[in-house]
Amino acid sequence: MLRRALMAAAASEWVRKAVTGTPAARAVVDQYVAGESSEDAVAVARALRAAGLLVTLDYLGEDTTDAQRAAATTAQYVHLLGKLAAEGLTEDGAVEVSVKPTAVGLLLGAEGEPGPNAVGERVATEHLERIVTAALDAGTTVTIDAEDHTTADAALRIAGSLRSRFPSVGTVLQAALRRTEADVRALATPGTRVRLCKGAYAEPAAEAFGTRHDVDKSFARCLRVLMTGPGYPMVATHDPRLIDITRSLGFARPAGSFEYQMLHGVRPDEQRRLAASGAKVRVYVPYGGDWYPYLVRRLAERPANLALFLRSLGSKS
Ligand code: FDA
């Protein structure tokens, strides 16, 4: 319920303005978002690298139905990759990028029809191919984020088509979705980079598990398939129990053959602790002006954050 109400609030221009004009609320945004410009993103990536962490950068913006915007987002990624390479940050994939298919055109051409269609899928594939090519030139990789379940088939087709030409392209699967265990088995193939996360979207019961407990059990089942398989698992969670299971399963794997992933601003001490123990840890760092839907998903994950955020909206400083 709470999550659904928050997702609905994501569309509210009033809330967005209130946040932008309230310093204490802005501080909550700054916990999760690196800043608005590519310079901000590169600075945060540089600092994380200095602390021994790997990075994936996400240029915020999603669900666009504007062709120019999809093209501009693509250009922003290409520009960012050039900047990162110039600083030597992309070497061996140390800093890579994450891209949402709906940010680069998946929903174009829908004309009143909700969800992806053939036109949007072609445009998103072409834009992603440009970004992947720029990433390869820079010596790094691209991971294709997962969005709500209506986009899953198209996103997996796009990722599959790109992977057949560019094997390093990463795919994201969400344990919350009932389909994911089958998707995980299909993708547990040699060298395939798969990020497993719980899933951040409010989904209908027919598509997704309804309780946190069932999502966690699904995550553990999928994790086992990935960690005992021949691919490259990217385990995206801050959940201490799932991190423990990952560590146990990791003992049977060759060193460096999987990584932990966490969000910028969430459990930073644990990120550093794991990295200091010799594990590969990648931090997902979003940047850009269009931070509102991302913030709403982070607040929905944690009621305590929401309370803090609402209090800060009401404060004057
Ligand atoms: P859970 O939500 O159970 O949190 C476990 C603990 O982590 C909490 O008790 C708390 O301590 C801490 N925590 C979690 N979220 C927090 C927050 N927002 N603020 C403060 N503390 C918090 N989703 C998706 O649908 N598509 C995607 O492509 C991605 N990509 C992605 C990349 C990476 C690197 C990560 C880490 C996550 C994603 N996600 C995602 C988001 C993911 O699906 C999920 O919503 C969040 O990671 C929260 O789930 P946890 O596994 O952390 O567990």
Q: State the chain's mean pLDDT as an integer.
A: 92
Q: In this structure, are 28 and 143 located in the same domain?
A: no
Q: In this structure, are 118 and 3 located in the same domain?
A: no
What would the mean pLDDT of 286-306 be, rounded to a whole number?
Answer: 87
> Which residue segment(s) compose the domain that 2 sits in?
1-33+294-317
Q: In this structure, are 29 and 50 located in the same domain?
A: no
Query: Which backbone phi and psi does 158 adopt, to 5 degrees?
Result: -60, -45
What is the total count of domains within the chain? Answer: 2
The answer to whether the CB of 79 falls within 8 A of the CB of 59 is no
- Cβ(146) – ligand 1 distance below 6 Å: yes
Question: Distance between CA 188 and CA 174 in Å, rounded?
Answer: 15
Q: In this structure, are 113 and 243 located in the same domain?
A: yes
Give pLDDT tens digits for 163-215: 999 999 999 999 999 999 999 999 999 999 999 999 999 999 999 999 999 99
Q: Which of 145, 148, 183, 290 is catalytic?
A: 145
- Cβ(238) – ligand 1 distance below 6 Å: yes
Active-site annotation holds for 145: yes
- 15 pLDDT tier (thresholds 50, 70, 90): low
Q: In this structure, are 137 and 283 located in the same domain?
A: yes
Asked whether the predicted pLDDT for residue 110 surpasses 90, the reply is: no
User: Which stretch of 26-40, 189-203, 219-233 has the lowest confidence by average pLDDT?
Assistant: 26-40
Q: In this structure, are 179 and 75 located in the same domain?
A: yes
| Ligand 1 pocket test, candidate residues 297, 301, 308, most atoms within 8 A of CB | 301
Buried b (16+ CB within 10 A) or exposed e, 20-44: eebebbeebbeebbbbeebeebbeb
Q: Give the rounded percent of residues in the chain with a pLDDT score beyond 90.
A: 79
Question: Distance between CA 294 and CA 310 in Å, rounded?
Answer: 16
Type of residue numbered 1? M
- 299 pLDDT tier (thresholds 50, 70, 90): confident
